A and B are shown apart, each in its own frame.
Chain A
Amino acid sequence: MAVGPPGPTEDSNLTTRGEVRDRMDYDVIVIGGGHAGSEAANAAARLGARTLLITSFLARIGQMSCNPAIGGVAKGTVAREVDALGGLMGRATDRTTLHFRMLNRSKGPAVWAPRAQCDRGLYPREVRRQLEERASLDLFQATVDALLVEEGRVAGVTASDGSRFRARAVVLTAGTFLRGRIHLGTDRQVDAGRAGDPPSILLAEQLAELGMRAERFKTGTPPRIDGRTVDFDCFHRQDGEAEGHRFSHWEQADGLPSLPCWIGSAGPEVKEIVRDSLGLSALYGGAISSLGPRYCPSIEDKVVKFPDADRHQLFLEPEGLETSELYVNGLSTSLPADVQRRFLRAVPGLGSARMTQPGYAIEYDFFSPQSLSATLAVPELPGLWLAGQINGTTGYEEAAGQGVVAGINAALHVQERDPWVPARDEAFLGVLVDDLITRGVDEPYRLFTSRAEFRLILRQDNCLTRLGPVAERLGLLTDEESRHLDEHLRLVERTREWVDEARVRPEQVNDWLRARGGSPILEPQPLQRLLRRPEVGLEAMLAAGGPLEGVAFDSDACTTVEMETKYAGYIERDRARADSLRRRDQQPLPPDAEYLDFGSLSWEARHKLERVRPENLGQAARIPGISPADLQNLLVEIRKRSRGVVARETPGKPSPSGDA
């Protein structure tokens, strides 16, 4: 194991005589090395827990199994939240970025969305490099066959090589590996957790024996092609942004040389080939019945559901700096490889393109997250946490976010500290976890800004101000990171004060204003007032020079202060609403409530409450189909029981006769 800079705690596998002995006892074991698993292990180790990450192929830690990109709308914010909590994703992304864009720039900063195309080969190496910086974290390559269960508690794992590891907390992040099955057309199926990797069968069987009821989802990938065989003249070139935006709050990585993406389209010829071959599609030929994500539809879905659309956009995304391979985003499919070759060649510009890897659909087990607690723990199996795609989500960022939450809470549990549950108005992570455990999933779950009722507060620019202090309090940060956090908070404060006090003179800004089509100012005025104009962005104004000579320049701080100035009324209103909702969240519900006996609630409401077992009144209110009236009855029932009145017993008046 490489020795990196020391983490929050020192640890050693050395015995007194200096001989190395493999440790078999841990605080936390993380099964799986994908985006959920690596973040869970990192978070637990940062909290000082002696942590083991065990995965089938160490070389594939942090593997990007789908498209080689991190971020996007809402997802970019999650990636930055993970980073603010000391996570791996932001730094790994920044160091391997081939192409960065801030999506939604034409809208307000509240929905700006950083997204980076990354080098698929380099990204996993950056993840592993960071993991190896954590002194209290061990890595071990093996397939886990079973959980060690003792007296109803999870106490460790058994690997396929026979070795047993003990731990007080186990985080399972099996992704798509549990009974994973790949489909290439109707007649070619391979048991696999990802192309080329065997699935987890024994573990899945044990989980079923333990009473966990698995459901099936499917997802898919598009084919990849050899870039040397593409006629790029038929595509629209999209270059990344030159400016130094980034995901990580902790370091300013140099990144890699920039590569373009290419935008083209699949037209009527492609649609016709797909339509004629639908019978061969695993999806439409009957081989797969489970649900896939609506917002990541296969080309078969697009052809069937939108027959009138002329053409569908597709993006050629670079796979890496040192390969010409391209990822054909938009053509996800479960058709046989020869059909994929044919429809690819019907795409303008791909007439002589060679396919390097066919797309495929994969079916896998997941567990309904409604049965999880808010820390992502499994209440029926103490000692077990679940994170990532196994909970019915899709996306690297969603997986990473859950990994952080599960890893932190597994470690806190071992350390007998209070759990940490992010709130809906605190982080997208809070929205994510609460949606999962409260609403459950009926299709692979992906985050959108529309899922957050307080998206004006949950922005990509203020992740560190929102979560940095939490990370510091929990003990996730190194000393250097803590110092950096303090500096950043001070910088935001200074920027805010400066904006509050500064006045601008006409000659400082009028040329700049005119250039943006704004009306010039006639006399000196407070900067605040100027900032309230929609066309005036603080960062852009500062970048143009002028009034801000000598003020430290930080993109996030500028955006934060600008938002809070420009939309002060809206943000205050959201905060007030969030505060009033929080009061509901602070009203706990008894963990042992017998919801099925709550006679005054509708039958459906009783069953929904029983399934979700909400931890507080706010969570109960967010269960779909629970009406305000149900909530009222719920309160009455709870109050009735806390007063010791036994249900279904009529007070007074015994009936001496005629009582059957």
Chain B
Amino acid sequence: MKALRPEADPVQETIAAIATAPGRGAIAVVRVSGPDTVQVARRLGLTDLSPRTALLRRLEHPEGGQPVDRVLAILFPAPASYTGEDLLEISSHGGTLLPQLVLDAVLAAGARLAEPGEFTRRAYLNGRIDLLQAEATADLIEAASPALAGAALHQLERGLSRRIESLRERMIEVQALLAYDIDFPEEDDGPLDRTRVDEALAALRDDLDTLLALAPEGEMLREGALTVIAGRPNAGKSSLFNSLVGFERAIVTEHPGTTRDAIEAVVGVEGYPFRLVDTAGLREASGAVEEIGIEVARSYLGRADIVLFCVESGRSLEPDEIAFLDEWPSNGRTTILVRTKADLRPAGELGPPADGDRCALQVELSAEQGEGIGKLRTMMLDAAWSGLRARPEAPLVTRRRHIRALESARSSIDEFSAACEASLPPEIAVTHLQDATVRLEELLGSVSTEDLLDRVFSSFCVGK
């Protein structure tokens, strides 16, 4: 999906595209949207459409009138349609050929092929959805994990929008207190009660912090938690990889990486995505950390959220392994020491304590027999998604754009407080709160106007 920013808009024409995925299927949907939709429909022989009613009709090619397919056509007149324009949905038979023929007929009737995302973009431009909802639509379509789909649906249903709107409203409420103080210096209520301002801002800070605290996990939802498998040759890395991938039959996609020094799979664990990376099977292009002999996809290591460090069960750590653990674990990522090949260890014989204090998280498993995998999965979930799992209903920010806006609003509040602290007068200090409000409005893609004075008048007795 293309960027949804309302810039460089092409001349508004009537657009059309196949809305369903290509391939064999019982039906396919072609969507048409724009000012000429009804004319396009007429030229296709759909002359008697009535609003929001599904009609079974024969669709004809506009040039020559030969029949194309029997279709189910629904007209959604503006403005109550997805795009806010006249919108026509044509359900034709599926497969590879017919949808294309229907689309060709629609284009011949005067529509032009839509750009990727153009329907949603028009919905935003026509005020049907806000910017957050537009982004959510993209996320929903591209969601590779139930968790992202859930967050996107929540966002589409304005869960996040409502949260941001409420933050913005409260920000305006604080400004109204200050505006009242500035514009009505002689009223009943006397001078401004600073504690009201301070308390409201403290609550706002808390709420912004709560949103921001989950934001890294929200951002991670799109790509999955980067989980890198490391270990000496033959430490059981590829078995672990296969076992984690195979365990979750759900969604395994090969990631067309830019650097082919690793293989990847996105694995869903209880709906949460992990992007699993291993050098296994790529010996020639191996990313071994040569000087210490540990095999790991180096280019990923710095960005890893989780490192699964494989050491065979029942033996002590070698110096190079100790060096790896000592040198590499940092930057907020979690390293889990995976004691592999538990099945090969003589029965009843416990492995040595295995330098337990080098790594707080340890799990012993047998990839062959599946033992310990469940425990590892839980550890991985806890390491990457503890915040989200604890508060699954919380509105979630999933994009850099959101995080930047919220952080900027947050620091503007701090700047306001600092300005007050430095005894700057209210009309100067309040400019920082205006900044914070604008950040939140940009997040929604809306800009507001008179709300401030409305607030002043609804809550104060203004007399002189």
Cross-interface CB contact of B11 among A450, A451, A645, cutoff 8 Å = A645
Chain A CB within 8 A of B84 CB: yes
Cross-interface CB contact of A658 among B10, B60, B456, cutoff 8 Å = B60
Chain B residues positioned under 8 Å from A73 (CB to CB): 182-185
B461–A111 touching, CB < 8 Å:
no
Chain B contacts with A in 116-171, Cβ cutoff 8 A: 124-127
Cβ of A472 to closest chain B Cβ, rounded Å: 30
Chain B CB within 8 A of A514 CB: no
Chain A contacts with B in 546-581, Cβ cutoff 8 A: 567, 570, 573-574
Q: Given A451-B453, A632-B6, are A104 and B185 neighbors across the interface (CB < 8 Å)?
A: yes
Cross-interface CB contact of A107 among B108, B425, B461, cutoff 8 Å = B425
Chain A residues positioned under 8 Å from B445 (CB to CB): 627-629
Describe A's contact surface by its main secondary structure: loop
Cross-interface CB contact of B9 among A455, A574, A633, cutoff 8 Å = A633
A107–B125 touching, CB < 8 Å:
no
B127–A627 touching, CB < 8 Å:
yes
Cross-interface CB contact of B63 among A456, A624, A657, cutoff 8 Å = A657
B12–A636 touching, CB < 8 Å:
yes
Can you name the residue of chain B whose Cβ is closest to the Cβ of A639? B11
Q: Given A315-B464, A448-B179, A534-B422, are A622 and B449 neighbors across the interface (CB < 8 Å)?
A: yes
Chain B contacts with A in 95-110, Cβ cutoff 8 A: 108-110
Chain B CB within 8 A of A198 CB: no
B127–A630 touching, CB < 8 Å:
yes
Cross-interface CB contact of B461 among A309, A599, A605, A645, cutoff 8 Å = A309
CA distance A489 to B424 in the complex (A): 28
Describe B's contact surface by its main secondary structure: loop
A450–B452 touching, CB < 8 Å:
yes
Chain B CB within 8 A of A206 CB: no
CA distance A448 to B11 in the complex (A): 41
Chain A contacts with B in 596-648, Cβ cutoff 8 A: 599-603, 605, 622, 624, 627-630, 632-633, 635-637, 639-640, 645, 647-648
Binds B, one of A12-20, A294-302, A365-373, A387-395: A294-302
CA distance A144 to B298 in the complex (A): 90
A-B pair number, CB within 8 angstroms: 175
Chain A CB within 8 A of B187 CB: yes
A108–B127 touching, CB < 8 Å:
no
A650–B461 touching, CB < 8 Å:
no
Can you name the residue of chain A whose Cβ is closest to the Cβ of B48? A660
Cross-interface CB contact of A111 among B108, B427, B462, cutoff 8 Å = B427
B108–A653 touching, CB < 8 Å:
yes
CA distance A276 to B425 in the complex (A): 44
CA distance A567 to B43 in the complex (A): 66
CA distance A104 to B191 in the complex (A): 11
Chain A CB within 8 A of B62 CB: yes
B428–A108 touching, CB < 8 Å:
yes
CA distance A632 to B126 in the complex (A): 10
CA distance A53 to B47 in the complex (A): 66
B127–A456 touching, CB < 8 Å:
no
Determine the interface band of chain A, counting residues with CB < 8 A from chain B.
35 or more
Chain A CB within 8 A of B186 CB: yes
Cβ of A281 to closest chain B Cβ, rounded Å: 17
Chain B residues positioned under 8 Å from A10 (CB to CB): none
A628–B446 touching, CB < 8 Å:
yes
Can you name the residue of chain B whose Cβ is closest to the Cβ of A652? B110
Chain B CB within 8 A of A305 CB: yes
CA distance A451 to B9 in the complex (A): 32
Chain A residues positioned under 8 Å from B44 (CB to CB): 658
Per-position binary interface string of chain B over residues 1-15, scored 1 when its CB falls under 8 Å from any chain A CB and 0 otherwise: 000001101111110
CA distance A628 to B182 in the complex (A): 30
Chain B CB within 8 A of A231 CB: no
Chain A residues positioned under 8 Å from B7 (CB to CB): 632
Chain A CB within 8 A of B457 CB: yes
Chain A residues positioned under 8 Å from B13 (CB to CB): 650
Chain A contacts with B in 277-297, Cβ cutoff 8 A: 294-297
Chain B residues positioned under 8 Å from A601 (CB to CB): 126
A659–B42 touching, CB < 8 Å:
yes
Most buried by A among B13, B64, B428: B428
Chain A CB within 8 A of B35 CB: yes
Can you name the residue of chain B whose Cβ is closest to the Cβ of A105? B185
26 A-B pairs within 8 Å (CB atoms) are namely: A74-B183, A106-B191, A108-B424, A108-B428, A110-B425, A295-B462, A297-B462, A312-B188, A313-B463, A329-B464, A330-B464, A448-B453, A450-B456, A573-B431, A574-B431, A600-B12, A600-B125, A605-B127, A627-B447, A628-B6, A628-B445, A632-B7, A633-B125, A650-B39, A658-B44, A659-B62
**Given A294-B457, A624-B449, A660-B42, 12 other A-B contacts at CB below 8 A?**
A73-B182, A108-B425, A295-B462, A296-B462, A306-B461, A313-B186, A329-B464, A603-B79, A628-B6, A633-B125, A648-B36, A657-B63
**Ranked 7 nearest A-B pairs via Cβ:** A108-B425, A650-B110, A534-B423, A600-B12, A599-B35, A632-B6, A448-B183
